[in-house]
Amino acid sequence: MKKFMKSEELARDDRFTRTAVPLDFLMAEEVTVEQVEETMMTLLGNEDVRKMMEEQGGGGGAPNVFRRVRPEEDDAPVFIKTQMHGIFMGEMQALEAAGRSAWDFTDDDQLPWQFQLDMARQCWDETRHVEIYSALLDHVDCRIGEFAENLFLFEFGCSDDPAERVVGVNRCLEGLALDVFNDTIRFGQAADDDAIWRSVDYVSADEVTHVRFGQVWSKALTEGDPERRKKVVSFQRKVDRAFSLGGLRGSYDGANTAAFLPLAVEFRKLAGFSDEDIAEVAGAGPKVTGRK
Amino acid sequence: MARSFTRRHGAPFVIIDGCIECGICERVCPYDAIFMSDELEFVVDGEKCPSCNRCLDPCPVGTIIPMDDQRAAQIRPSNRPFVFDGWQESVASDKLSAHQGGRK
């Protein structure tokens, strides 16, 4: 069976819509708010979302995608659909990335067997998550393909060094998932929607474990090899910057209750993040200029 | 740590004639695989490129090509020293597949 698949080779049936949005702002050291907004609107590829964001932005306020939406607001149904669809696609890519991690390095005789076991466990978890979010899509009356899929999450998990692979997939992709889940749980609780918040809460327990795999293995595989460790940390900083989504995410959970997608501090600490690790992720974004 | 497993199973990218040196590929690459060579042309380092596709969509002129694509034969001279072991521009795509996974 083939190893090291390209992102374009990931299997999707004709229900899915894939978009080739460059997302070049992800790695930039400086971005403008307008640049990020325009890209995100194109990325979502949905006319309802575009209209909603333009209405929000046109009034001089922050566009919907960059602020926390509350269940009582008119935008809430579209918001929760975009959120659930984004998570569903993220789970698909996380499953594919974990599957690759389990299989791509089977001929690495220096990699402990436990690494493959951990990646295999993650695959098992992710398959359940895909099923759960598929059901939650039905719950919020959203269909697969209603919003476009972009493969950038997977693309940051393609390294052929297993230490960098777990940084991209586990520490960063799954770490971002924890932040999204934290936001979604809060939305579900505020909406008094048990199906949403309890389901996402259960899934979060697995995600904490997956992020911990990233923390543990990225350090274990570089122990005693400062050069490799330096390279892995450098890669980690890049991915942290990319997943700051143009630096427009709120920093810490609780610091700004109106902010879009703040870091889930409690979840991340459960996953083995120190205060320094969290501060590093919070400070990883680019310099943001323009309207905010 | 010396690594002994087969690292490369996919086809990393090369830059072919027509690149306008805008540099966006270098900026978006998470793996430090794209850089400006001594000839002041951007090149892809086949040792580092995991063929993640991150650079393909941002490229405005479509000159970043997977090595197993026939168009890779148009590789720029500046990129030739950076292709991974075992690949030659004259190698047709069907022959290239025999090299995939061959580098230790």
Query: What ipTM was estimated for this complex?
Result: 0.80
Residue A20 near residue A7 (C-beta atoms within 8 A): no
pLDDT at position A291 is 59
Interface test with B, best of A18, A158, A232 (most B CBs within 10 A): A158
Residue B48 near residue B33 (C-beta atoms within 8 A): yes
Whether B100 maps to a domain, the answer reads no
- Mean pLDDT, all residues of chain A: 87
Structure tokens at B30: 């998470």
> Does position A287 have pLDDT exceeding 90, yes or no?
no
Which residues in chain B are closer than 8 Å to A21, comparing Cβ atoms? 57
Question: What is the pLDDT confidence band of residue A113, given thresholds at 50, 70 and 90?
Answer: very high
Which residues in chain A are closer than 8 Å to B30, comparing Cβ atoms? 27, 155-156, 168, 235, 238-239, 242
Structure tokens at A179: 């932040």
Virtual torsion, Cα A58, A59, A60, A66, nearest 10 deg? -70
**Closest Cβ–Cβ partner in A24, A158, A234 for B52:** A158
How many domains are contained in chain B?
Answer: 1
pLDDT at position A165 is 95
> Does position A97 have pLDDT exceeding 70, yes or no?
yes
> Does position B28 have pLDDT exceeding 50, yes or no?
yes
User: Residue B69 carries which DSSP code?
Assistant: S
In terms of pLDDT, which residue wins out, A37 or B104?
A37
Interface test with A, best of B7, B29, B47, B52 (most A CBs within 10 A): B52
CB contact under 8 A, A228 and B1: yes
CATH number where B78 lies? 3.30.70.20
Which residues in chain A are closer than 8 Å to B57, comparing Cβ atoms? 20-23
Residue B102 near residue B86 (C-beta atoms within 8 A): yes
User: Residue B84 carries which DSSP code?
Assistant: P
Residue B84 near residue B47 (C-beta atoms within 8 A): yes
Residue A4: Cβ-neighbour burial (10 angstroms; 0-12, 13-18, 19+): buried
The 3 state secondary structure assigned to chain A is CCCCCCHHHCCCCCCCCECCCCCHHHHCCEEEHHHHHHHHHHHHCCHHHHHHHHHHHHCCCCCHHHECCCCCCCCHHHHHHHHHHHHHHHHHHHHHHHHHHHHHCCCCCCCCHHHHHHHHHHHHHHHHHHHHHHHHHHHCCCCCCCCCECCHHHHCCCCCCHHHHHHHHHHHHHHHHHHHHHHHHHHHHHCCCHHHHHHHHHHHHHHHHHHHHHHHHHHHCCCCCHHHHHHHHHHHHHHHHHCCCCCCCCCECCCCCCECCCECHHHHHHCCCCHHHHHHHHCCCCEEECCC
Which residues in chain A are closer than 8 Å to B66, comparing Cβ atoms? 6
Complete domains list, chain A, with CATH: 18-289 (1.20.1260.10)
Whether B3 maps to a domain, the answer reads no
User: Residue B77 carries which DSSP code?
Assistant: G
Give, for B28, the enclosing helix (H) or strand (E): helix B24-28
A258 CA to chain B: closest CA distance, Å?
A: 30
**Closest Cβ–Cβ partner in B4, B28, B53 for A7:** B53
pLDDT at position A54 is 64
In terms of pLDDT, which residue wins out, B37 or A58?
B37
Q: A242: nearest CA in chain B?
A: B30
Interface test with B, best of A1, A2, A3, A4 (most B CBs within 10 A): A4
Partner A contacted by B104 (CB < 8 A): no
What separation in angstroms does the CA of A138 have from each of A14, A61, A168, A280? 18, 31, 30, 37
Structural domain containing residue B33: 13-86
Taking residues B76-80, what's their average pLDDT? 92
Per cent of chain B over pLDDT 70 is 71
Q: Which of A290, A291, A288 is nearest to A30 (CA)?
A: A288
**Closest Cβ–Cβ partner in A4, A26, A105 for B10:** A4
In terms of pLDDT, which residue wins out, A29 or A98?
A98
Partner A contacted by B31 (CB < 8 A): yes
Strand partners, B75: B16
Structure tokens at A63: 């566009």
Pairing of strands A30-32, A287-289: parallel
Whether B8 maps to a domain, the answer reads no
Instruction: Give the pLDDT confidence of A20-62 residue by residue, as tens digits.
Output: 777 788 888 888 878 887 777 777 767 777 766 666 554 334 4
pLDDT at position B94 is 47
Whether B65 maps to a domain, the answer reads yes
pLDDT at position B91 is 47
Lowest mean pLDDT among A119-128, A258-267, B55-64: A258-267
Whether B59 maps to a domain, the answer reads yes
Whether B29 maps to a domain, the answer reads yes
Question: What is the pLDDT confidence band of residue B9, given thresholds at 50, 70 and 90?
Answer: low
Whether B2 maps to a domain, the answer reads no
Question: What is the pLDDT confidence band of residue B87, given thresholds at 50, 70 and 90?
Answer: low
pLDDT at position B103 is 36
Instruction: Give the pLDDT confidence of A175-234 residue by residue, as tens digits.
Output: 999 999 998 999 999 999 999 999 999 999 999 999 999 999 999 999 999 999 999 999
Convert B3-36 to b/e letters by CB count within 10 Å (16 or more is b).
eeebbbbbbbbbbbeebeeeebbbbbbbbebbee
Q: Which of B56, B91, B53, B66 is nearest to B11 (CA)?
A: B66
Per cent of chain A over pLDDT 90 is 55
A190 CA to chain B: closest CA distance, Å?
A: 37
> Does position B58 have pLDDT exceeding 70, yes or no?
yes
Question: What is the pLDDT confidence band of residue A255, given thresholds at 50, 70 and 90?
Answer: low
CB contact under 8 A, A24 and B58: yes
Partner A contacted by B7 (CB < 8 A): yes
Taking residues A67-80, what's their average pLDDT? 84
Distance CA A38, CA A256 (A): 24
pLDDT at position A60 is 39
Whether B91 maps to a domain, the answer reads no
What separation in angstroms does the CA of B37 have from each of A136, A262, B81? 50, 40, 10
